[in-house]
Amino acid sequence: MKVVIGAAGTGGHIYPAVAVAQCLEDRSISASEICFVTSSRPVEDAIFSQLPYGRERLDVRGITASSTVLSKVRGVASLVSASFAIRALLKVQRPKVAIVFGGYISVVVALASYSLGIPVLVVETNSVMGRANRLISKLAKEIFLSFEESKIHRGKIDPNGFANRSGVPLRREIMAVDVSKEARRDLFSKAGFEVDEIDSFVVIFGGSLGSRRINDAIIATLSNFPNRFPKVGFFVITGERDFGEVRQELTEVSKVSSAQVVFENYSDELYSYMGNADLVISRAGSNTVAELDYFGVPAILIPLPNSPGDHQTKNARWYCERSEAVFVREGDFSPALLGDMIEKLISSPTKVFHQSFPNKPSDDEVGDAAIRIAKRAIDYAL
């Protein structure tokens, strides 16, 4: 093992780490020399089933301010036991560098690495640094931030930070999405749409875990206004957790609505759908906004209320300031408002078609974030 990567829990932590791992692979580190340390959530299994890297699963429980005393004690005990397990592994494997992307697993990986003298690089993709990364940053050799707004830590920050638009590392497959008319047609047709009857595609998802509130909002909007969107295709990614509960409602909606409604629990190819959408409705996780920014897709963003430091609202503002996107607080939401917003954005005369988006960053600008981090990691690893 040459590089150990701590990234777990949600796609939001794992996908930017994958982007960096891909750049390591392009620069003389093989996939088998890269090991991810993760937890064991179903979304992680779904993501890693497609990836060539080594993976160690740790059983770590989260601790939140609202946890009971007993679950806090259990959480701390699981962190301590995971730290010993990962330290034992790293002692044998002796990676040359550790890269962590936030969350509890990152704390465990960073502490174990630091105690063995392995240099630790910290990557923060959100506009507000998370608690775990704030803690680890004290041990870090270098910290890579993604948004200028998060420049609150002094000293170890990558001096070339913010070289690109968001600085969130994006996977190479995102930059390879085909947005030609034919590709868009094939893509949505494969998803199950009768594409000849559709003028606009709306893609809806609630981050990598899904969002019940967003699922409910779209169900309510389409059932309250069944005839409003006759030429629109709605592609709803429900998230694994809520799929069982909402599939029945979505099936009913698809029968009564003049719109075409297709749904799935998770999509490995979501980035292709985002790139080819006329409108995206989603939460405002950092990767989601960076991907939207890359494609320049209009969006209705509904930030997760109470995200740490309210980072989702800040992520959403960042995107809204440079694009044709709006954000709505979850509490202000109603089916009528959502219906109006969808109608306005899909009928906008400047309805994007990607390349025509005036602020779209170049591939070099976007690719730069992952490359920058990988290059620094290689300086330590070789």
Ligand X SMILES: CC(=O)N[C@H]1[C@@H](OP(=O)(O)OP(=O)(O)OC[C@H]2O[C@@H](n3ccc(=O)[nH]c3=O)[C@H](O)[C@@H]2O)O[C@H](CO)[C@@H](O)[C@@H]1O
> Residue positions in the annotated binding site for UDP-N-acetyl-alpha-D-glucosamine?
10-12, 126, 171, 208, 312
Tell me the closest approach of the beta carbon of residue 265 to ligand X, in angstroms. Answer: 8
Tell me the closest approach of the beta carbon of residue 23 to ligand X, in angstroms. Answer: 16
Out of 113, 287, 313, 323, the only residue in the binding site for ligand X (CB under 6 A) is 287
Out of 67, 81, 254, 267, the only residue in the binding site for ligand X (CB under 6 A) is 267
Contact 353, 157 (CB under 8 A): no
Tell me the closest approach of the beta carbon of residue 293 to ligand X, in angstroms. Answer: 12
Q: Mask of contacts with ligand X, 232-261, x by CB under 6 A?
A: -----x------------------------
Closest to ligand X by CB, 104 vs 357, is 104
Closest to ligand X by CB, 161 vs 285, is 285
Contact segment (CB under 6 A) with ligand X among 92-100, 201-209, 213-221, 320-328 equals 201-209
Q: Compute how many other C-beta atoms are within 10 angstroms of the C-beta atom of residue 160.
A: 11
Taking CA atoms, 105 is separated from 14, 38, 58, 67, 113, in Å, by: 11, 7, 8, 18, 12
Which residues sit opposite 142 in a β-bridge?
121
Out of 39, 125, 150, 323, the only residue in the binding site for ligand X (CB under 6 A) is 125
Contact 370, 20 (CB under 8 A): yes
Q: Mask of contacts with ligand X, 15-54, x by CB under 6 A?
A: x---------------------------------------
Residue 54 in 3-state DSSP? Answer: strand
- Residues 309/202/146/66 CA torsion (nearest 10 deg): 20
* Both tokens assigned to 151: 């420049």
Contact segment (CB under 6 A) with ligand X among 53-61, 282-290, 343-351, 358-366 equals 282-290
Closest to ligand X by CB, 104 vs 271, is 271
Q: Mask of contacts with ligand X, 147-186, x by CB under 6 A?
A: ----------------------------------------
Distance CA 312, CA 156 (A): 25
11 scored as a contact of ligand X (CB under 6 A): yes
State the Rg of the chain over Cα.
21
Residue located via tokens 């592994």: 89
Contact segment (CB under 6 A) with ligand X among 74-82, 107-115, 202-210, 347-355 equals 202-210
Tell me the closest approach of the beta carbon of residue 125 to ligand X, in angstroms. Answer: 5
Tell me the closest approach of the beta carbon of residue 84 to ligand X, in angstroms. Answer: 27
* Both tokens assigned to 308: 């740490």
Q: Buried (b) or exposed (e) across 24-62, using 16+ Cβ within 10 A?
A: bbeeebeeebbbbbbbebebbeebbeeeebbbbbbebbe
From the annotation, which residues make up the binding site? 10-12, 126, 171, 208, 312
Contact 284, 304 (CB under 8 A): yes
Which residues sit opposite 205 in a β-bridge?
237, 282
Out of 95, 167, 169, 207, the only residue in the binding site for ligand X (CB under 6 A) is 207
Total chain residues near ligand X (CB under 6 A): 27
Taking CA atoms, 242 is separated from 57, 162, 182, in Å, by: 24, 36, 33
Q: Buried (b) or exposed (e) across 166-196, using 16+ Cβ within 10 A?
A: bbbbbbeebeebeeeeeebeebbeebebebe
Residues that bind ligand X (CB under 6 A): 10-13, 15, 102, 125-126, 205, 207-209, 237, 266-267, 270-271, 283, 285-288, 291, 304, 307, 311-312
